[in-house]
Amino acid sequence: MRILVTALIALSVLIGLVSPAQAAPAWPNVKIGANGPAVLSAQHLLRHRGYNITADGDFGSGTETAVKQFQTASGLTADGEIGPLTWPKLIVSVQRGNNSEAVRAAQVQLNRYGYGLVVDGDFGGGTHTAAVAFQSANSLESNGVIGPITWQALVGGTPSGGGAFSLPLARGDLPRSEYDDPHHDYPAIDLPVTNRPAYAVVSGTAYRINDGATTGCGYGMKIITGGVEYQYCHFSSQAVANGQAVRAGDRIGTTGNTGNSTGPHLHFAIKINGARHCPQNFLLAIYDGRTPPAPSSLPKTGCFY
């Protein structure tokens, strides 16, 4: 019977009914000098395992040292790179009710796909719902448990077609009512938060804005895709390199109070050829789970005092 089952599986692969390679995306390889959500998740996983490093998304010397120590302890070649042999030993299965750095690592990855979770390490209802939705969308067992197969799909996969959208802040940071507020004097929106992670609303190329601590936008980011600029201002810190490709849901910085600001908040704007468009309807659609309108269709008036 076992021989018959094996033969049937092999035949299914040959005729295209089963495609194991498509079901398991390759683990990424990250090493010193890299940055982004894969690095951030790895750092949280290392912290879960007792390594006292900073989880900042930047793969520096401290992270490399921790990786080498972990590899040695795990019987791996200590090359300091997190690749297909290290990831499977580094990941930790997490599920509802857990509260840990490993949960933070999973939440970072889920946010790449637009789920807008608060990265707090608490595997509560919101994280469970996001995990089940991700599993269902990727034809995985939809039990909400983030085990080896789901981890590989999360870390190795990409948002479908690059078309995913994400709120600029975790859903729990602000109520929906904040996303329809007018700006004080031109098309934009100010979201009142302090020291919260900021996420890419779309996939594109990120560029740093460095106006200084007291001038203009302050420290921020702009994401450019399809001729549209999505601008973030008043960061306390930036999380991605200048010119780095980002995907919707990637963490790009931390909100703050730099630049010409009267108090801690995230300033968000959408520009096309230098002209500002009201971002409120765009953000409300994402909040409601709808596909947002084309930026060019957004109004240029009516969203400020």
197 closest CA partner among 40, 302, 9, 60 = 40
State how many domains the chain has.
Answer: 2
Residue 166 domain-assigned (yes or no): no
Distance CA 134, CA 139 (A): 9
- Does 112 share its domain with 73? yes
**Crossing angle for the helix pair 125-137 and 101-112, to the nearest 10 degrees:** 50
Burial tier of 24 (Cβ tally within 10 Å: 0-12, 13-18, 19+): middle
Taking residue 23's Cβ as centre, other Cβ atoms within 10 Å add up to 13
Tell me which of 133, 157, 181 is where a domain ends: 157
CA dihedral (221, 34, 196, 213) in degrees, to 10, reads -50
What is the pLDDT, as a whole number, of residue 114?
Answer: 63
For 18, the token pair is 């089963």
The pTM score is 0.56
What is the pLDDT, as a whole number, of residue 3?
Answer: 46
CA torsion sign for 85, 89, 90, 95 is positive
Residue 163 domain-assigned (yes or no): no
Residue 4's contacts (CB-CB under 8 Å, 6 or more residues apart) are none
Mean pLDDT split into 10-residue runs, the chain, 305 residues: 43 41 77 84 97 90 97 98 97 98 93 74 94 90 97 81 71 90 96 94 93 94 94 96 86 95 97 96 86 91 93
CA dihedral (80, 35, 286, 272) in degrees, to 10, reads -150
Burial tier of 285 (Cβ tally within 10 Å: 0-12, 13-18, 19+): middle
What is the pLDDT, as a whole number, of residue 89?
Answer: 98
What is the pLDDT, as a whole number, of residue 178?
Answer: 96
Asked if residues 239 and 35 have their Cβ atoms less than 8 Å apart, the reply is yes
**What CATH number does the domain containing 54 carry?**
1.10.101.10
Residue 305 domain-assigned (yes or no): no
- Does 130 share its domain with 202? no
Tell me which of 101, 133, 157 is where a domain ends: 157
- Does 113 share its domain with 222? no
- Does 81 share its domain with 111? yes
Distance CA 252, CA 197 (A): 8
**What CATH number does the domain containing 233 carry?**
2.70.70.10
Residue 303 domain-assigned (yes or no): no
What is the pLDDT, as a whole number, of residue 233?
Answer: 98
What is the pLDDT, as a whole number, of residue 171?
Answer: 78
The helix/strand/coil state of 191 is: strand
Tell me which of 131, 157, 183 is where a domain ends: 157
Which residues span the domain enclosing 266?
Answer: 171-297
